[in-house]
Amino acid sequence: MENSFLSNDRIYLRAVEPEDLDLMYEMENDPAMWDISSFTVPYSRFVLKQYIEGSQSDMFADKQLRLMIMRHADNCTLGTIDITDFVPLHSRGAVGIAIHKDYRKEGYASDALKLLCDYAFRFLFIRQLYAHVAVDNEASVRLFTSCGFIRSGVLKDWLQTPDGYKDALLMQCLNLKKV
């Protein structure tokens, strides 16, 4: 994968394959992840299999792009990174990232986010990426800030949790290069 937008010396990003079903099932159904996502119910294997089979891996057709985060050294799947809610008219999409609990705090999220932004801006010519991050999720705030995202606003009572509602930061990264 030399000279690829989707690869660095430690990881690479690739399209979802049928063999990713078990890992996706595990991660999508982890209740600890639900408060940082929009998931409200568990996903069945059937639904995830249909998603994998129906995805064209084309952000312009699907209005979203999910990529698997892979480690070069052993081809281990570390997690997923997505662009969702893609709006071609405004050339923007939301970023989501999930690293499997066994591989967190090793810099893989930062590597993956940098690769995704580079791909979105330099190859797909997307104008902006954004993320909604809980104000108390310090690790995610650091991650997005380190990758060039800025805090653009606070969304009051944006996320419902078992303890009530909490605010979220709107973080944006703009592609300021002329296309």
Q: What span, in angstroms and rounded, lies between the C-alpha atoms of 5 and 143?
A: 20
Q: CA gyration radius for the chain?
A: 16
Q: What is the mean pLDDT of residues 8-13?
A: 97
From 110, 84, 86, select the one nearest 99 (Cα to Cα). 110
- Confidence (pLDDT) at 134: 93
Which backbone phi and psi does 41 adopt, to 5 degrees?
-140, 155
pLDDT, mean over the chain = 88
Domain boundaries in the chain? 11-129
Tens of pLDDT, residues 98-109: 999 999 999 999
Q: What is the mean pLDDT of residues 159-164?
A: 85
Q: Quickly list DSSP for 88-109.
A: TTTTEEEEEEEE-GGGTTSSHH
Tens of pLDDT, residues 23-62: 887 877 776 666 555 555 677 777 777 777 777 677 787 8
- Confidence (pLDDT) at 80: 93
3-class secondary-structure state, position 157: strand
- Band the pLDDT of 156: cuts 50, 70, 90: very high
C-alpha distances out from residue 151 to 41, 52, 60, 147, Å = 30, 33, 27, 12
CATH class of the domain at 11-129 = alpha beta
